[in-house]
Copies of this chain bind each other. A is one copy, B any other.
Amino acid sequence: MLKATIEADIFRETIDAVSALVNECRLHVDEKGIRTITVDTSNVAMVSLELSASAFLTFAAEPCEIGLDIEKIRSMMSMIGKTDIVSLELDESGKKLKISFGGYEYSITLLDTKTIRKDPNAPNLNLPATFEVPGVMFNDAIKASSMVSDKISLAVSAETCVFTMNADGDSDRIKRELTGDDVHYLTCADARSLFSLDYLKDMGKSIGRAEKVQIRLGTDHPVQFSFVYAGGKGSVGYLLAPRIEAD
């Protein structure tokens, strides 16, 4: 059972964060709120999202699982006004979700949760460098880098405490250094890994809207991004596997 109302922009950020990586997901619903954890089809990236019941205007739920076609909801987004209140209601059969807003009633058929792959287990990773940077600075650097290359190295120097994003293309290079007030370290340690810009571009759009993104980085290890939204009542985590360095 689910019957809830939510502000349009929180609804939108929720959908956007997940749709960065996957087209469908299994939503776990209970009285505490909603959450999902899923990997992309090539097993390279993982997204986890939690949105507390208190982030909703009204929220009544009994534990259930919902199979969401994320793409379908995303295509409806342009209809939803910025200040609309979005109502969500699972129908009695549990097979359809009714989404209402601004005089509209939109009913979508849910996916059979049995057809959606099992929830992945979040791996335990030893990532020595942990720090925060403004989301918009991170996303801008990702956008710029993707103009010269398809991969980027993220690196922290324990000595200088500079966070360096470096994209080396065939003939050109873009380097972005964050230092001073732009980066706040929880633990500063040597770390350097190489990542595919394809995935980072998709994640970057959601990260770019966050005031701060926390980054956990190791050497030739996955990178972890986490940020909050909905006034701290929602949280998103991305995990991205490193690329093998060819050179």
Contacts and interface: CB of A to CB of B under 8 A. Distances in A.
Contacts of A182: 103
A103 B177 contact: yes
Given A76-B147, A79-B140, A79-B143, A174 B106 contact: yes
Interface in A171-185: 171-178, 182
A19 B26 CA distance: 46
Nearest to A81: B140
Contact of A107 (B104, B108, B175): B175
A87 to B, nearest CB: 13
A11 to B, nearest CB: 16
25 contacts: A72-B172, A75-B147, A76-B147, A79-B140, A79-B147, A103-B137, A103-B177, A104-B141, A104-B144, A104-B174, A104-B175, A105-B173, A105-B176, A105-B177, A106-B148, A106-B172, A106-B173, A106-B174, A106-B175, A107-B172, A107-B173, A107-B174, A108-B171, A109-B171, A109-B172
Interface of A: 72, 75-76, 79, 103-109, 137, 140-141, 143-144, 147-148, 171-178, 182
Given A105-B177, A106-B172, 11 more contacts: A76-B144, A79-B143, A103-B137, A105-B173, A105-B174, A105-B175, A105-B176, A106-B148, A107-B172, A107-B173, A109-B172
